[in-house]
Amino acid sequence: MAMLARSVKRVSPFRLASLLRSEKDPSLALQLFRSVNPSPEAKPFRYSLLSYDLVITKLGRARMFDEMEQVLGQLRGETRFSVPEPLFCQVISFYARARLFDRALRTYRSIPGFRCRRSVKSLNSVLHALLKCREYDRMDEVLDDFRNHANPDACTCNILIKALCGSGRLEDARAVFDEMPVRGIRPDGVTFLTLINGLCSNSMLEEAFKLKDDMVRVHGIRPDARVYASLMKGSCKVGDVNMAFGLKEEMLRERIELDAAIYSTLIHALNEVERTAEVSGLLEEMRENGCKPDTVTYNVLISGSCKKKDIDEAYRLLDAMAENGCKPDVTSYNVIMGELCKEGKLDEATDLFEDMPRRGCTPDVVSHRILFRGLCEKMQLKEAAFLLDEMVFKGYTPHDASIYKLVDLLCQEENHELLLTVLNSFRKGKAMKADYWTRMISLACKNNEFSSIELVDHLITS
C-alpha cells in the first residue's frame, strides 16, 4: 500500500475517494490524501467532500487528532461546499471517547465556520461528550447558549437526565423529566430507562417501580429487557434477590424477551448472596429459552468460580468460552488475575498477564493495577518497580494505596537503589500530579537518611 500511496499523483477526485476507502492504515490514507496536492504552486486538487470525510474519520478513529485537525483546517478553507453536520458529530464523539472535552467543545463552536448550521444534533453530541468527561457544569453554559436560537429535543433531555443522575441530583433529573411535556417534548423509551436506572442505582426503588408502571399506563411504552435489568439490579442492591426473580417471572408473563443480560444479572445476584446452588438451574432455563450465554455471562460465571477459590473451574470456563464462540475479553482475565493475586500466586498471575497478548487480549489499566497491587502486597518489590515503569510509560496511573505501600516498604528495607528507580519512574510520568511528587519525596525521606535536597539532586542529574 505504501507503494501505491507514493505512486498516486494524477487521479480523479472520485478515484481518490475509492482509494481512501480501501486503505486501512490511517497514516497511509493521510499520505495518499496529501499526495495528490504536491506543491502549493500547482493547481489545487478538487477534493470531494467524501475524501475529506473518509480521511477525517480514519484519523479520528486512530486518535491521530493533530493530523485530523490539519485536514479539518483545510476543509474549512474549501468554499465549494458546506460541510454536513454529522461529520462534526463524529469528530465530537472521537474527542469524547478520548476524554478531550475541550477539543469537543472547540469543534462544536467551530461548526459555523464550515458553512454549516448547528442543530440539536451537534448540540446533543457535545453534551454527550461533556457527560462522558463528567464536565457537568459546562453543559449548562452550552445549553443556555443553544436555547437562544433553537429548541432541545428528547435526546437532549435524556443526556441531561443521565448527567443529573450521575451526579446524584435525582430531584433535578426528575424535574427535567416533569418539564418535558411542558416544553412539548414527549419522553421516549430511553428517557424512562435512563431515569429508572438513575433511581435504581440510588436505591430509590419505589419511585423506579412507579415510573415503570406509568411508562405503560400513561405513556404507552412497553418496558424492555434493559428496564427490567435495571430494576433487577436495583432490587439486588437493596438486598431483595427474590424481587429480582419476581421481575423475571413478570417478564415471562408479559412475554418480554429475556436476554443474556437478564440472566447475567441474576447469576451475579446469586453469586453475591452465595446462593450458587441455583446457578445451574438458571443456566438450564437459559438454554431452554434459546438464550445463549455471552461474554458477560461467562465473566459472571468466572467471577463466581473465583469467589469459590476454584481457579481450575475458572480456566475451564475460559476454554468453554472459546468453544462456544465468545471470546474471553480483558475482564475475563482481570477477574482470574485478581483472584490469583489474592491467593498470593503472583507468578501465575504474572504468567497470565504476560500471556494475554498471545491470547488476543491487550492488558488494560485495570490489569496493570491488579498485578501491581498484588506485587506490592506480596512484597515482590523489584517486580513491582519494573511494572510501575511500564505503567508510567503507557500512561497508566496505579492506585495511590499501592504506591504508598511500595515506597513505604522500600523505605523500611532501606533499599535506596530501588527507591530511586521508583522515583525516577515518577519523574517520567507526565500524568503524575505535581503534589503527588512532593508527597512521594517526603514519604521517601521519612525513616530514611536521605535528605530531600540530596534526592532531588540525584533525580535531576541522573
The residue ranges that bind DNA (CB under 7 A) are: 53, 57, 86-87, 89-90, 93, 120-121, 124-125, 128, 153-156, 158-159, 162, 188-191, 193-194, 197, 224-226, 228-230, 233, 259-262, 264-265, 268, 294-297, 299-300, 303, 329-331, 334-335, 338, 366, 369-370, 373, 399, 401
Instruction: Please state the closest distance from residue 143 (CB atom) to DNA, in A.
Output: 13
Residue 196 or 420 having the CB closest to DNA: 196
Cβ proximity to DNA, 262 vs 279, nearer residue:
262
Nearer to DNA, 107 or 230 (CB): 230
Instruction: Name the maximum alpha-carbon separation found in the chain.
Output: 77
Minimum separation from the CB atom of position 233 to DNA (A): 5
Minimum CB distance to DNA, residue 288 (Å): 18
Query: What is the closest distance, in whole angstroms, from the C-beta atom of residue 60 to DNA in the complex?
Result: 8
- Quote the least distance from Cβ 408 to DNA, whole Å: 16
Inter-CA distances, 342 with 45, 289, 307, 376, 380, Å? 61, 37, 11, 12, 14
We find the least distance from the C-beta atom of residue 305 to DNA, in angstroms, to be 12
**Which CB sits closer to DNA, 212 or 373?**
373
Instruction: List the grid coordinates of 18.
Output: 475509492
Smallest distance from the beta carbon of 5 to DNA, in angstroms? 23
- By beta-carbon proximity to DNA, the closer residue of 207 and 224 is 224
Q: Which is nearer to DNA, 190 or 320 (CB)?
A: 190
Residue number with CB closer to DNA (1 or 190): 190
Question: Cell numbers of 454, please?
Answer: 540530596
* Smallest separation, CB 41 to DNA (Å): 32
Q: Which is nearer to DNA, 399 or 446 (CB)?
A: 399
